[in-house]
Amino acid sequence: MRSSSAAEDKLALLETAPAEGFGFVFAIRTARAWWYSAWLRTLARFSRTYFGSFWLGLSNLLSVALLGAVYGAVFNIPNPWEYVVYLGLGYTIWGFISLTVISACTLFSIRRDQLINNSLPAIFYCLEEWAFQVQTFAQSLVIVMIPILFIKPVLWLHALTSVWLPLINVVLFCFWITALMAVLGSRFKDVAQLMPILMQLTFLLSPILYKKEGLGKMALIADLNPFYRVLAPLRTALIDGDVYFRAEFATLFVNVILILIVCYWLKRVRYTMPFWV
């Protein structure tokens, strides 16, 4: 048997490597930490369930199947399988955007203990939340894509070829919206109450359950809807394999600018944030 002092001696003190900075450089340096921390949240969420993180896709799949059956009949869709693909992809991407917005509103309030007790920049929590939503989305999308493989196999080809730029845009959009809503949700407590209602309304006003053409003269509603503007190109790229490069690069540019703005904003409110939560 080892003596207790021998055991103590064996746990050698390790050097720390605190990451410097607030923005992009900090995000890269701490990437493994926030990505792993986000993954642990998924593990914790499903730790005592039988299906584990498979629930993420399963619940989504069930919703798509039920909505597809009901609304396919309501709208009298001539080709129900194509409608299921359209709905399935739109609903999954919407789930990603919507969950990102709603969860971000309470991000800093939930992480209050960590926020007031360590000096990690606020962007770390935004990155972790964003990574959690990206991981959730990736699992949901893959599980939805499995049955789609049997309905319309060409989608997998599109998923491997056309989808990258619209996908990057959706993912980047979700990062800056996370940071934006996290700060707004901390500053104004009403935001966390307002956003679920607003997102529900936006969902009904967005061409997800129905085609955009169905809006007729009211198509402007979809054009002015920023959530739909990032959702639609990804869905189109997956279903038809079409990518409008000019529009996508313009969106990418806007996303990058907005990311820089929210990073700067996070840096500015860093020290006032602990007093808001």
Partner 1 sequence: MGSRSLKSAFVGGLTGGLLNRSRTRGLTVQALSDLNFTIQKGDRVALLGHNGAGKSTLLRLLADVYAPSQGRIWRHGHIAPLINKSFWVDTDLSGRHAARAQYLLSRNTINGFDQFLDQLVEFTELADFIHLPIRTYSDGMKTRLQFGLLTAFRHEALALDEGIGAGDQWFLSRARQRLSEFLGQVGTLILASHSIDLLSQFCNRGLVLNHGRVVFDGPLHEAFAHYSKGVTAS
**Cβ at position 137, least distance to partner 1 in Å:** 21
Q: Which amino acid does the sequence have at 48?
A: R
| Among positions 93, 179, 191, 195, the unique one binding partner 1 when judged by CB under 8 A | 191
**Cβ at position 101, least distance to partner 1 in Å:** 16
Residue numbers 39-68 binding partner 1 by CB under 8 A: 40-41, 43-44, 47-48
Residue numbers 95-114 binding partner 1 by CB under 8 A: 113-114
Does residue 197 interact with partner 1 by CB under 8 A? no
Tell me whether residue 28 or residue 142 sits nearer to partner 1 (CB atom).
28
With H, G, I as helix, E, B as strand and everything else as coil, classify residue 224: coil
Calpha distance 179→221 (Å, rounded): 25
- Token pair belonging to 247: 């529009």
Calpha distance 126→272 (Å, rounded): 16
**Cβ at position 242, least distance to partner 1 in Å:** 40
Does residue 10 interact with partner 1 by CB under 8 A? yes
Cα distances (Å, whole numbers) of residue 248 to 158, 166, 191, 209, 244: 16, 7, 30, 24, 6
Q: Is the Cβ–Cβ distance between 102 and 95 less than 8 Å? A: no
Does residue 276 interact with partner 1 by CB under 8 A? yes
Does residue 153 interact with partner 1 by CB under 8 A? no
CA proximity to 130, closest of 103, 108, 91, 109? 103
Calpha distance 226→188 (Å, rounded): 22
Does residue 213 interact with partner 1 by CB under 8 A? no
| Among positions 23, 80, 241, 274, the unique one binding partner 1 when judged by CB under 8 A | 274
- Token pair belonging to 6: 């021998």
Residues that bind partner 1 (CB under 8 A): 2, 4-5, 7-8, 10-19, 29-30, 32-33, 36-37, 40-41, 43-44, 47-48, 113-114, 116-120, 186-191, 194, 271-272, 274-277
